[in-house]
């Protein structure tokens, strides 16, 4: 063994460099072969997934079941919404007919009596000693309007009635 080692040490620098160069080339070749094998495997593409795979069939069945449930829920909600719309339409029509009937029946008293007659009527009731709310009910005027009429007449001095 010593002679083999001694023989290796007796090599010149050029010979030793050539041996190292050959080793590097050999190592590079091995790495390139491994790399190209992986590249070729990638170029061929992944392993094919078959459509009849149990996993895919199961997923498709679950998706279809979820779709059916969602479709059924949407149909139910659509029916509920349609029923509510129908009920609301009925109520709206009922309210419209009621409001039309009310509009025909009621005519405000304030429109029936001319302005001077109302003032005279308010003053007569006030002189009789009636309170503002009673006068308001009888004439259809607000309490504020009644107070205004009485105060204006009092300021004008055209009424013997005095507010305390």
Residue 117 has pLDDT above 70, yes or no: yes
pLDDT in tens, 29-45: 999 999 988 888 878 77
Dist CA 103 CA 97 (whole Å): 10
Looking at residue 163, its pLDDT comes to 53
Which residues 6+ apart lie within 8 Å of 147 measured at CB?
Answer: 132
Q: pTM above 0.75?
A: no
pLDDT in tens, 74-108: 999 989 988 999 999 899 988 888 887 776 666 55
Are 139 and 110 a contacting pair, CB within 8 Å?
A: yes
Quick one: pLDDT band at residue 27, thresholds 50, 70, 90? very high
pLDDT in tens, 120-143: 888 888 888 888 888 888 888 888
74: which 2 tokens? 């949407």
């Amino acid at each position: 063994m010593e002679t083999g080692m001694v023989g290796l040490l007796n090599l010149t620098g050029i010979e030793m460099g050539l041996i190292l160069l050959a080793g590097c080339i050999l190592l590079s070749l091995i790495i390139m072969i491994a790399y190209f094998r992986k590249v070729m495997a990638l170029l061929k593409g992944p392993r094919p997934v078959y459509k009849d795979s149990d996993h895919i069939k199961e997923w498709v069945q679950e998706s279809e079941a979820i779709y059916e449930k969602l479709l059924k829920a949407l149909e139910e909600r659509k029916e509920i919404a349609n029923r509510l719309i129908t009920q609301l339409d009925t109520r709206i029509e009922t309210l419209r007919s009621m409001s039309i009937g009310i509009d025909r029946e009621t005519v405000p008293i304030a429109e029936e009596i001319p302005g001077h007659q109302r003032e005279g009527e308010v003053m007569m009731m006030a002189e009789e000693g009636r309170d503002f709310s009673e006068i308001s009910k009888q004439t259809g005027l607000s309490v504020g309007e009644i107070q205004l009429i009485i105060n204006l007449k009092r300021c004008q001095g055209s009424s013997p009635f005095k507010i305390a």
